[in-house]
Structure 1
Amino acid sequence: MQPRMRELLVLLVMLLKAACSVESRMTFQNKGLVCDQCPPGTYLRASCTATKESDCARCPPGSFTELWNHIDKCLRCGMCEHNQEVKLQCTADRNCECQCKEGYFLKKKYDICVRHSDCPTGHGVLSKGTSGQDTVCEVCSSGFYSDSVSARHNCSAHTDCDASGQRLVLKGSTWHDNVCATCEELNTQDGADYLRKFLPTFFLHQNMQVKRLRRLALKLTAKDGKEQLRENVMRTHRSDLYELINSWVHNAGTHELRQLSEKLRTIGAAVPATKLERKLTRIDAAKTQLCHQLSS
């Protein structure tokens, strides 16, 4: 047999097999009879007989079939799981299709939708999370900062003190903006007052343990002397503790602000205490230097 003829025969056999395969999917055996299967969107209400063809019926609402079949009832439409929403509604010939809710993405390893990661302070969003991908964060580059924990915010440029007619009191970092002021303002304000501009972010950035934050909150509110307040603090979650501390920062006097690093040391937070002291030292030094330069 010539090679060309052999190739044609092989191709013919393959086509016959494919045709038989398709035929086998469209029919089924029932008591010696070859019955037609039902198309997608229907189910087999009654098998064929010697005188009647297969009786197929439309799937009722809330059910479906996606393939040719000979089942006696349609499949129940699926339901979206926790943190999912319907992308495509279920129809007679298609199950519903789900997707992660806004703010969530599919964790393929566990096949569940989880919340997009927040970028910590000092980091901005390089690319926002999608239904199939988590948030991608980046460290803020020189001259930029992020003072929030967010899955949406980018890094912002440090304020240009000179452009606003002010002086640079404290150089910004990746997690807080430049601290600016006029020398007239510096002459009327204590250096500790400028701590208020970044203290809320300072505690976020330190990411202290909840039990340590509770101890700090108790220290800051100790003068209230209320047992009920103590009980509330011990039950308070991290976000509420930040709010409580921020409220204290807003209302504290300059003397209390200057004692804050000491209070941090008493609760075992020596590293944050040292960092805060260095910030205050730089502010005091800049305050003296800037005002001296202006008056000389």
Structure 2
Amino acid sequence: MFSMMFLPLLSVLLLSQRCALVNGVNGFTSVNSVNVELTTYRSTDPSTGKQVVCDKCPPGTYLLSRCTMTQMSVCAPCPRGSYTELWNYIGKCLRCGVCGKNQVEKRVCSADSDCQCECKQGYYYKYDMCLRHSECPSGEGVQTKGTPHADTVCHVCPNGTYSACSSAQQSCMQHQNCEASGLRLVLKGSHWHDSVCSSCEANGSTDGAEYLREILPAFFVHQRIGNKRLRQIVHRLSSQNSKTQKDISDLHAWINDWVASATATQLRDLPTVVSKIAHSAGEKLQNKLQRIDSLLNELCEEVVVNVV
């Protein structure tokens, strides 16, 4: 009989100990006060108007009902699509976040943690947004590829290497070795184009324009001729209306097709056409052609002498 009366009394005593008055003997301060502060909070008993110390709800739950002098805190699990990451006494779980533009979900939202997002492939995080990885321009190669957290790192192609395009992926490539292929060098490679090789016996052509063809796509990329001037060049080379090419990538694609099908005479006239619109670029192209002609003539003269 005594034990049956004692158990309810003990429960009341323990509950009173847990929800003690803040100013009482067994108040908020204890040996483990730091841990208590993390997992408890002060509240006011609505029936007595006195302060009590209540349990917070653990991560993944929220406070369904506040504690009183006679009742412990009541917690409930976060419904699907919501979460709490900390010990809390909020009346509603937080709504799960949504990944932003150019982001992908790295970790899904759960009851005790929000979703984790990162920039999708080809983008990196900066200024609170995902930006596209920078492309290394012609003449520069990728030293370190971009990640979701860092941009591409570029470097100027060192001697003996080149990069003929703008890219966020391509490293500098080695110049081809003409002698190793049984050919002769007619144009030394630079940081933006490969070496040009030839053999009079194998090719049968002594027209430098045929070898200029090899570097022309890279030339127009490297010169960074503006959209307006590039369209004027296309207009001069084409009998069609160049306005059908709307952006610079279309213009470069058209020029590449033209270069592939142009005759040697058309290629030899190209520096003059370019000079009328972009004088500096035209001069550089003419110098390349003259250099090829000079080396090619020397090469083929040596072949003729050797044959004789």
User: TM-score category by the smaller chain?
Assistant: 0.7 to 0.9
Indicate how the Cα distance of structure 1 residues 217 and 292 shifts in structure 2: closer, same or farther if over 3 A, else same.
same
Secondary structure of the equivalent of 1:195? Answer: helix
1:270 aligns with 2:279: yes
Q: Does 1:281 align with 2:298?
A: no
For 1:25, which of 16, 24, 38 is the aligned residue? 38
Q: Does 1:71 align with 2:83?
A: no
Opposite residue 295 of structure 2, the aligned amino acid is A
Deviation at 1:59, TM superposition (A): 0.4
Q: How does 1:95-114 map to 2 (within 5 A)?
A: 95-107=114-126, 110-114=127-131
Relative to structure 2, which stretch is displaced further, 26-35 or 120-129? 26-35
Which residue of structure 2 aligns with residue 6 of structure 1?
none
CA distance in structure 2 between the aligned counterparts of 1:26 and 1:55, rounded to whole angstroms: 14
Instruction: Name the stretch that deviates more: 171-180 or 29-38.
Output: 29-38
Specify the alignment match of 1:190 in structure 2.
Answer: 207
Answering whether residue 70 of structure 2 is matched by residue 51 of structure 1, we say: yes
Q: Note the alpha carbon deviations across 1:74-113, whole angstroms, 9 max, x for none.
A: 0001111111111111110111111111111111xx1211
Q: TM-score, normalised by structure 2?
A: 0.84
Structure 2 counterpart SS, 1:188:
coil
Rounded to whole Å, the distance in 2 between the matches of 1:129 and 1:145 is 20
Contact persistence 1:167–1:183 (CA under 8 A): no
Question: Which of 234, 238, 255 in structure 2 is aligned with 1:245?
Answer: 255
3-state secondary structure, aligned to 2:71: coil
CA 1:230–1:290: 2 relative to 1, 3 Å: closer
| 2:304 corresponds to | 295
| TM-score (ref. length: structure 1) | 0.87
Q: Work out whether residues 43 and 70 of structure 1, in 8 Å CA contact, stay in contact via their aligned partners in 2.
A: yes
* Equivalent position amino acid for 1:83 in 2: N
CA distance, structure 2, for counterparts of residue 95 and residue 283 of structure 1: 63
Which stretch of the first structure deviates more once superposed, 211-220 or 17-26? 17-26
Counterpart residue type for residue 232 of structure 1: T
SS in 1 for 2:201: helix
Q: 1:200 is matched with which residue?
A: 217
Counterpart Cα distance in 2 of 1:262 and 1:54: 87
Bigger-Rg structure (1/2): 2
CA–CA separation in structure 1 for the residues paired with 2:66 and 2:159: 75
Q: 1:203 to 1:83 in 2, by over 3 A?
A: same
String of CA shifts for 1:37-60, please: whole Å, max 9, x gaps: 111100011112343221111001
Deviation digits for residues 209-232 of structure 1, max 9, x if unmatched?
1111111111111x34xxxx3441
**d(CA) in 2 for partners of 1:230, 1:250:** 18
Task: Indicate the residue corresponding to 1:160 in structure 2.
Answer: 177
1:34 to 2:53 alignment: yes
Partners of 2:296 and 2:203 lie apart in 1 by 6
Aligned-partner Cα distance in 2 for 1:177–1:232: 31
Q: Partners in 2 of 1:188 and 1:280 — Cα distance? A: 15
Cα distance change of structure 1 residues 115 and 56 upon mapping to structure 2, 3 Å threshold: same
Structure 2, unpaired ranges of 5+: 1-28
Q: How far apart are the structure 1 equivalents of 2:53 and 2:63?
A: 14
- Partners of 1:83 and 1:101 within 8 A in 2: yes
Offset at 1:30?
Answer: 3.1
Q: Is 1:232 matched up with 2:241?
A: no
Which one of 264, 270, 277 corresponds to residue 254 of structure 1?
264
- The answer (yes or no) to whether the contact 2:231–2:242 under 8 Å persists in 1 is no
Question: Is contact 1:85-1:99 (8 Å) kept?
Answer: yes
Displaced runs of 4 or more, over 6 A: none
On the 8 A contact 1:64/1:93 being kept in 2, the answer is: yes
Q: Name the SS of the counterpart of 2:32 in structure 1.
A: helix
**One-letter amino acid of the counterpart of residue 38, structure 2:** R
Report how many residues are paired: 271
Deviation at 1:17, TM superposition (A): 7.9
The change in CA–CA distance for 1:214 and 1:164 in structure 2 (over 3 A counts) is same
Shift of 1:174: 0.5
1:11 corresponding residue in structure 2: none
